[in-house]
Structure 1
């Protein structure tokens, strides 16, 4: 029994010794990790405060994605002074400020370390139509109607005309004109504009003022589409299929084309200019 007790004590003592060594090793490793992390952080801090991390001129700002705005116009929106410490710049705030511009849809700003600089990526709003809104003024101002001009993009987002042209002095304005409140036609605009842009038929004006009758001015003349609905793209497709109408009827005799029902297209003729058809003048002609 005495021999067994002696062996057990020896084993326990060996185990304690091994545990102490493991603790010492872990302690030393922890110290080295702390020293390494501290040294790394200190080194990065030292590098960060060096004068090389400075934007010296506007050339240190790389701008991409801009097609309507020039680099100089974007630079003016950044409102940066030079020289400027790269670490004092807040990319998120600059991006948010750029997105508040009516002609910019998205903006991403990030720091570039090698070489030191700033990277600005833009997604612009491309105007596709000139928008006109008529609003009645106060009675104190004789109740006159005020006409507000602007621009809209393919998604129906309103862009103030004066803000856009002040920055984009060289940009050619679109030829398509839209009359009416953007709030009224925005639910239909994206699909409707896509249909117009893809058709071979030229559309120069869209009148949304009457909520019960959308009117287009086209190369065929005036077209009445009725109450705006999800079937507007289909109506545009039908309209493109009758491009040969001028060869059948004199455009001067056409008052308007009634396309309220795509399956039953009607042509309203001018009584003054109409000519006899089938030995008898008819007010309405079915196509």
Structure 2
């Protein structure tokens, strides 16, 4: 004799929910497996595409250099942290720009990638030498911002600046950008800036040596104007007749005269 127990509506709903949950669980597992397969295939495909010759930098011929005037393109390309062949997608423009700014005399570098055809375009803003300067026995140049650069990083045939700067040995040359701007605008030709003594800036000019005392930008402008008014000096005095001009007080310029020694023979005769 078989006994049958009727299933209540609540039990039927419970069974149906269990089936629905199992179905949803299988669907989620299937979706995750599909996502994993898709991502793996996509990644593999991208890697395969990246390794194709069409997407690689195979030589420096695929690199364009713009903005250079003093530095040769070969010099810049040799400083690039790139090993050939290398996928264009592996290139890090900011890392290349930082490397160039640290290794060659440039103040700004911009690097852009072109995917097809694969190439790099590098725009540089060079540091232009404005003065000759020697540090630790090594010849070099200063730019308008006061950045010192060894001469060896430039081509050997570079036209050297006419201005020479004698810098302090134990500290950077302060306020150089302002000083250089004023010197370059001077009406009197200046060939050397001696800033070794902080208490006395000495310039070698077409009028001879000029002492300015402690450099102060506002006072220095007045001193240069006074120096310009003294340009008629060589017409009245021989340059050899005085040692230097003292403009530490521009309203009261002083000429340190070169007094020749007395002639002993004439003293004897007298």
1:73 offset after TM fit, Å?
0.7
Structure label with greater radius of gyration? 2
Which stretch has the larger CA shift, 82-91 or 203-212? 82-91
Give the C-alpha shift of residue 182 in structure 1: 7.2
Q: What per-residue deviation string (whole Å, max 9, x for no partner) do you get for residues 236-281 of structure 1? A: 23323322221122111121011111222222211119xxxxxxxx
Tell whether the 8 Å contact from 2:50 to 2:87 is kept in structure 1 after alignment.
no
Q: Which moved more, 1:55-64 or 1:177-186?
A: 177-186
The alpha-carbon distance between structure 1 residues 185 and 234, as it changes in their structure 2 partners (threshold 3 A), is farther
Determine whether 1:152 maps to 2:154. Answer: no
CA distance in 2, matches of 1:238, 1:54: 64
Distance 1:103 1:86 in 2: 26
SS at match of 1:186: coil
Pair 1:234-2:222 in alignment: yes
CA distance in 1, matches of 2:186, 2:164: 17
Unaligned runs of at least 5 residues, structure 2: 1-34, 262-270
Report if aligned partners of 2:202, 2:211 keep a CA contact under 8 Å in 1.
yes
Report how far residue 226 of structure 1 moved: 0.6
Q: Distance in 2 between matches of 1:183 and 1:158?
A: 14
Offset from partner CA, 1:6-53 (integer Å, 9 cap, x none): xxxxxxxxxxxxxxxxxxxxxxxxxxxxx9xx89x9599476554311
Q: Does 1:99 align with 2:101?
A: yes
Task: Pick the aligned partner of 1:181 from 168, 192, 204.
Answer: 168
Q: Matched residues in 2 for 1:217 and 1:119: separation?
A: 44
Contact 1:195 1:237 in 2 (8 A): no
* CA contact 2:57–2:84 (8 Å) conserved in 1: yes
Query: Matched residue of 2:54: which SS?
Result: coil
Residue equivalent to 1:6: none
In the TM superposition, what are the counterparts of 1:50-129 in structure 2 within 5 Å? Answer: 50-129=52-131
> What does 1:1-287 align with in structure 2 at a 5 Å threshold?
45=46, 48=50, 50-133=52-135, 147-162=137-152, 164-165=153-154, 168-181=155-168, 184=171, 186-230=173-217, 231-272=219-260
Distance 1:258 1:154 in 2: 27
How far residue 228 of structure 1 moved from its aligned partner, in angstroms, is 1.6
| SS of structure 1 residue aligned to 2:227 | helix
Please say if residues 188 and 228 of structure 1, whose CA atoms lie closer than 8 Å, have aligned partners that are also in contact: no
Cα distance in 2, alignment partners of residues 91 and 259 from structure 1: 52
* Contact preservation (8 Å) 2:113, 2:121: yes
Alignment TM-score, normalising by the size of structure 1: 0.68
Alpha-carbon RMSD across the aligned residues, in angstroms, is 2.8
1:151 counterpart SS class: strand
Q: Do the aligned partners of 1:192 and 1:233 also contact (CA within 8 Å) in 2? A: no
- 2: CA distance between counterparts of 1:185 and 1:49? 49
- Does the C-alpha gap of structure 1 residues 219 and 66 become closer, same or farther in structure 2, counting only changes over 3 Å? same
Using the TM superposition, give the Cα deviation of residue 80 of structure 1 relative to its aligned residue in structure 2, in angstroms.
Answer: 2.8
User: Which range moved further: 264-273 or 219-228?
Assistant: 264-273
Residues of 2 paired with 1:172 and 1:157: CA distance? Answer: 18
